[in-house]
Structure 1
Amino acid sequence: MVMTATPSSVLATPPAEPADAAAYFAARLAFHTDVADVHAALAAGAADFTVVDSRTTPGWDQGHVPGAVHLPTARIPRSAAELLDPARPVVVHCWGPGCDGATRAALALARLGYRVKEMLGGIEYWIREGYEVETWEGKRRLPPDPLTAPEDGGACGC
């Protein structure tokens, strides 16, 4: 009698074919970026995208990415044209991975004709990775959280 092993819960749904997986992951990178890449680009002086913080004013006041544009999601339809260059891609974020605010903002901007990516992790991971934020009191930085970023402050290597 031949026994066949029951697949693990990981493989109960088989992985996609390599070509399908490549297409999916390439498309995913067209829609998302992460805080480390945004920070590295800004630190290198990149001027080919605009960071948009879609949180409300109280959230923005707690701390925001230096140089970001404050554009709460509810104001996008009436204010995007006066604050954003339609020829320049937008990287939008909200609170963090437990919040769909950046997704809603990205959808609103895309519907207005903007090329947009969502910054995964939002301001939560920006701060947890030890990057500087601006507030009305000035700039501040917290030490990196060793669960989300290398303790030495270096790049993760991914």
Structure 2
Amino acid sequence: MSSMVSRPAVAGVGQAITHFSSLALFETDCWDLHHGMSNQRQDFVLLNMREQAAYQQGHLPQAVLIQHSRIDSESLALYPADTLFVVYCADPHCNGADKAALKLAQLNRPVKKMLGGVTGWLDEGFSLWCQSDHQYKR
């Protein structure tokens, strides 16, 4: 008797290689993002997709607040066309980052989504920047 996990059948090895290798083209994780930021290798712009109140309570260091509904050519005009944007939201259940990534791609902008959102960032032990307090917090 098979489980719900093994139904439908498992993908072939070639399909799995294609699928999992392509994920890195679209996603990054909290650790890789933090590593780039803390080693002066930040070759991306980090975009917060949460509401302003949540952003003010704490956000990833150097993140720019912009809601996906406000992403357009005008709001991106300050950034060179080849700027890599990394979008994040509150947690894995929030689709604001997905909506933002789609808009950025439709505007011909390079984009990746940070897996886990703020929840994942905190789970990794990293701190948020609190603008109003001018300090990091967990």
1:11 to 6, 9, 30: 6
1:51 to 38, 42, 46: 46
Query: Percent of aligned pairs with the same residue?
Result: 33
Structure 1 unpaired stretches of 5+: 1-5, 143-158
- For 2:91, the equivalent position in structure 1 comes to 96
Residue 138 of structure 2 corresponds to residue 139 of structure 1? no
Q: Which moved more, 1:34-43 or 1:69-78?
A: 69-78
- For 1:113, the equivalent position in structure 2 comes to 108
TM-score normalized with structure 1 length: 0.80
Secondary structure class of the residue paired with 2:28: strand
Q: Which moved more, 1:103-112 or 1:122-131?
A: 122-131
Q: Distance in 2 between matches of 1:9 and 1:58?
A: 41
- For 1:80, the equivalent position in structure 2 comes to 76
**Greater relative contact order (Cα 8 A, min sep 6): structure 1 or 2?**
2
- For 1:3, the equivalent position in structure 2 comes to none
Residue 119 of structure 2 corresponds to residue 124 of structure 1? yes
Q: Distance in 2 between matches of 1:127 and 1:88?
A: 26
- For 2:15, the equivalent position in structure 1 comes to 20
Q: Distance in 2 between matches of 1:93 and 1:87?
A: 19
Cα pair 2:45 2:86 within 8 Å, conserved: yes
Q: CA RMSD in A?
A: 1.4
Structure 2 residue identity aligned to 1:115: P
Structure 1 residue identity aligned to 2:49: S
